[in-house]
Amino acid sequence: MIKIFKLLRPKFKWLSALTCMLTVISVIAFLTVPVLIGEITKIAYQISATGNPSQLVDINIFKIWTVKSINAKTAIGIVSAAFVGVMFVATSSSLSASYLANYLSAVGSRDIRLYLWRHLGALSQKDIEDFSHAKIMTRFTIDIQRIQFAIMSFLRTMLIGPINLVIGLVFALITDLHLSIIFAVLIPLILIFMGIFSRILIPAFIQEQKAQDDINIQSQENILGAKVIKSYNLEKNQHAKFYKESLNIAKLNQKEWFGFNGLFSIIMLIANIATLFVVAIVGATSRNVGSALLISNKIKNVNIFVNYVMVVTHGMIMTAFVLFNIYRGRVSSKRIYEILDRKPDIEFISSDKKVTSGKIEFKNVTFKYFEHAEKNIIENINFSVNPGEVFGIIGPTGSGKSTIAKLMSLDFKTHDGQVLIDDHDILQIDTTSLRSNISHIYQKPVILSGTVKSNLLFAKNDANFDDIEKACKIACAWEYINKFNDKFDHKIEPKGANLSGGQKQRLSIAQGVIRRPKILILDDSTSALDTKTESQVLHQIKEEFSKQKITTIIITQKISSILNADKIAVLHHGIIEDIGTHEELMRKNKLYQEIALTQLGGENE
């Protein structure tokens, strides 16, 4: 939790100190209230016993504030005024501290969420894939919410509990030293029960956090795989799994609340038994007390002491609850720091080495996704692409085509060899320049909720209507967009759920085109298009981009997508078998010939 507090801005640290100070003032002020009430009770009993409201009485508040021989009515007025003043200070400081604690916990959790978001943005795709999406979402929601509660507890309850415990105990000792012996039994007994219940609660907290991760993963899989689940009639099986996970969380929550409520009930029972003993002891020892003054003092002391027994008890309860809350926050903060302590696999670079023309070169590149993996995904890859060329990469499924594309856009970095852009090692190129000059269009488009226009502006926020029109026409998206009633203001649901696969791919291609990058990577991003539309899109991209010397990389399994490419690399089992034009490969590469024969028949013989 201390590490989490270090993330907060200096302003919040000062406000935290102010919150703690106001909390201390409010607690001390509230703790003086029983003394003032006891004093009023004493004077009221003296007036009742003698029937003389004008008799002279003494005011004695812990021997700190003493007034001798004052009219009883006046004394009650003075003590009552002091009571109102103390209550005003206590209430106003308590409300101010509560407001500040709420503000700091809410804004603090917001800052932590933003800090986590910024850090995630700096991580590479490999870093993010090491954590599952469901686990990241749990950290953004449940874990940060628990940290928010922990901050609130730390700033308020963490102080209120121990101060009530310590100062309440001191005031009880001052009030009646002999009766305070009861605390020698009360406090150890409560501590024993707190220790017993902590052995139940702490493991439950850890198990619940893991269970939350598991149910989030299960939920994500069920939502993303809804079509597959329905097609194989697996609804009952998945429901049973989800029910089991939900039941597990419910049982853990029941266990936690049983622990909390059980501990609270036992502590209150012990406190009430202690109060009963106090009253019984005072009753037994006060039978022979004769004067009204002595009786009133006894009543006053018992009244105050019983109040402080409850104050000490509540102080221990609050301390226990806040420690449990902070422990939960500590578990959550550790989980958040698992991400924050992760150093980016690919560092953000500020450099004078920029992407200027779009030349690409792979030199002896070898890569595998996991260091402990036995087999490389790609091995000893060598090729070069000049600015403005169209370079096709074809091969069977799992041959490493998309891996090459991800290395070009620095989603991953190589294990061996070099990827060069404009003769600079890609790891040394200015990150902003690299990202702004490479458009990587994936097979599964990332379409955000909003409108057609907002998705296009997401790629280039300063694009004008001419830019939008041109990009949509190149991507063959112009026609279907204009069929919508709202045209470019047409509402798009999350993940483009109200668009077809082909519409999403064309919109995604338009996003990539509108940026006018130096390098355009089409990673099987026309797979949902019919042959005619695909051919038209690729022809328009080549025609438009060749004029501006924009390098185009086409990753595909279909020969028809790369027939007119300047160069084509044939990839098989992670190794480039051959590079050449379509005609050259038809003459000399057996694998390419087999693919062509399967896909094109005798057209290209």
Beta strand ranges found along 323-389 (DSSP E): 360-367, 378-385
> 132: which residues sit within 8 A by CB, 6+ positions away?
213, 217
> 365: which residues sit within 8 A by CB, 6+ positions away?
378, 380, 381, 382, 407, 414, 416, 417, 418, 419
> 53 with 47: CB under 8 angstroms?
yes
Its CATH architecture, for the domain 1-341, is: Up-down Bundle (1.20)
Structure-block tokens of residue 448: 């955000």
- In the chain, % of residues over pLDDT 70: 90
- Cα separation, 76 vs 41, whole angstroms: 9
What is the residue whose two structure tokens read 């002896």? 364
What is the residue whose two structure tokens read 């400081």? 93
* DSSP bridge pairs for 59: 67
Given a cut of 70, whether residue 535 has pLDDT beyond it is: yes
Nearest C-alpha neighbor of 23 from the set 83, 86, 88, 100: 100
Given a cut of 80, whether residue 71 has pLDDT beyond it is: no
Average pLDDT over residues 161-167: 81
- Cα separation, 490 vs 391, whole angstroms: 35
Domains in the chain: boundaries? 1-341, 360-601
Long-range contacts of 343-346 (CB under 8 A, 24+ apart): 344/122, 344/123, 344/124, 344/127, 345/123, 345/124, 345/126, 345/127, 345/412, 345/413, 346/124, 346/410, 346/412, 346/413, 346/427
Given a cut of 90, whether residue 30 has pLDDT beyond it is: no
Structure-block tokens of residue 320: 């226990």
Its CATH architecture, for the domain 360-601, is: 3-Layer(aba) Sandwich (3.40)
Which pLDDT band, with edges at 50, 70 and 90, does 111 fall under?
confident
**pLDDT tens digits, 373-425:** 788 899 999 999 999 899 999 988 888 899 999 999 888 888 889 999 999 99
Given a cut of 80, whether residue 279 has pLDDT beyond it is: no
pLDDT, the chain, mean:
83
How does DSSP classify residue 9? -
Average pLDDT over residues 86-108: 88
Q: 463 — phi, psi (to 5°)?
A: -70, 140
**pLDDT tens digits, 544-575:** 887 788 899 999 988 888 988 999 999 998 99
> 429 with 519: CB under 8 angstroms?
no
pLDDT computed for residue 586 by the predictor? 92
> 350 with 334: CB under 8 angstroms?
no
Instruction: Say which amino acid occupies 84.
Output: V
Spell out the alpha helix ranges (H) of 123-182: 125-130, 133-138, 144-152, 158-175
Residue of higher predicted confidence among 4 and 525: 525
> 28 with 163: CB under 8 angstroms?
yes
> 412 with 125: CB under 8 angstroms?
yes
Helix 292-340 vs helix 72-122: angle between axes, to the nearest 10 degrees? 10
Q: What is the pTM of this model?
A: 0.66
Phi-psi region at 319: left, alpha or beta (left = phi > 0; alpha = psi -120 to 50): alpha
Residue of higher predicted confidence among 138 and 452: 452
**pLDDT tens digits, 51-66:** 676 776 666 666 666 6
